[in-house]
A = this chain, B = another copy of it.
Amino acid sequence: MPLERIVAAAVQIVDEEGAEALSMRTLAQRLGSGTATLYRHFENRAALVAHVVDRMFGGIGIGIGDDELAAMGWRDACRTTVQAMFDAVSRHRNVAPLLVEGIPVGPNAMAVRERCIAALLADGFPPRVAAHTYATLSRFVLGFAIQIRGHHGADRSDGDGEASTAFRAADPSRYPATAAVSDWLPVPLEDEFRFGLELLLDGLGRLREDG
């Protein structure tokens, strides 16, 4: 009863039926076993979720070597890493809600962190700033990731559906400024993400010049 097989089945459930469909019962059933058996491998549901999350982080960075990443400079290295994290979550939209549990500390998440921080240090960032930078960038990804909803594709009424209608239904006399920009609200998540990422990178660049 390899642990790997349990996690794979769990990921399969999340990808196919959503995060809320992953219960100890549904998982045990898919494995042809009982719920109690699962507790021999995971202390609780949170531990299982942590493994599922880290498996998603395993899909990041394939095809880019550590040296290659370090050679491209802090700016491109950060951009590539953060964008890859966002893409990974986008590919596994249903896993996103599971990220609320806490800071990912599985081996794959650790590897991603390591590569990004290494690139920053290699470019001369002081350790304290490098730590702050990665923390901020990953928190930024998280803020976007957890609100990625719905199934893949061009479904406009995804999770922002309620928000979208709320913005359009808002009283223009009460919310004139919001109404003035409502054509651009809610911002498509991918665009919004890249916009914010470039802001952060510009801010980092300026911080580096001044320091």
- Contact of A59 with B by CB under 8 A: no
Instruction: Decide yes or no whether A12 CB sits under 8 A from chain B.
Output: no
Copies of this protein in the assembly total 2
Does the CB pair B206–A139 fall under 8 Å? no
Question: Are B185 and A121 in touch, CB under 8 angstroms?
Answer: no
Classify the interface of chain A: helix, strand, loop or mixed: helix
- Which residue from B114, B144, B166 sits with its C-beta under 8 Å from A105? B166
Q: How large is the interface on A (under 10, 10 to 19, 20 to 34, 35 or more residues)?
A: 35 or more
Q: Which residue of B130, B183, B204 is within 8 Å of A181 (Cβ)?
A: B130
| Cβ < 8 Å to B, chain A residues 130-164 | 130-132, 135-136, 139-144, 146-147, 149, 159-160, 162-163
Which B residues are CB-close (under 8 A) to A72? Answer: none
Complex interface bits, A178-210 against B, C-beta within 8 A gives 1, otherwise 0 = 101101111100011001101111111011000
A118, B203: Cβ atoms closer than 8 Å: no
Is there an interface contact between A163 and B203, defined as CB atoms closer than 8 Å? no
Known: A127-B183, A163-B102. A136 touches B202 (CB 8 A): no
Interface centre among A142, A177, A198, A202 (most CB of B within 10 A): A177
A85 within 8 A of B: no
B186 touches A103 (CB 8 A): yes
Complex Cα–Cα for A19 and B183 (A): 34
User: Are B128 and A184 in touch, CB under 8 angstroms?
Assistant: yes
A177 touches B121 (CB 8 A): yes
Within 8 A of B (CB), among A77-103: 97, 100, 102-103
5 contacts between A and B (CB under 8 A): A117-B181, A131-B185, A132-B195, A135-B192, A200-B200
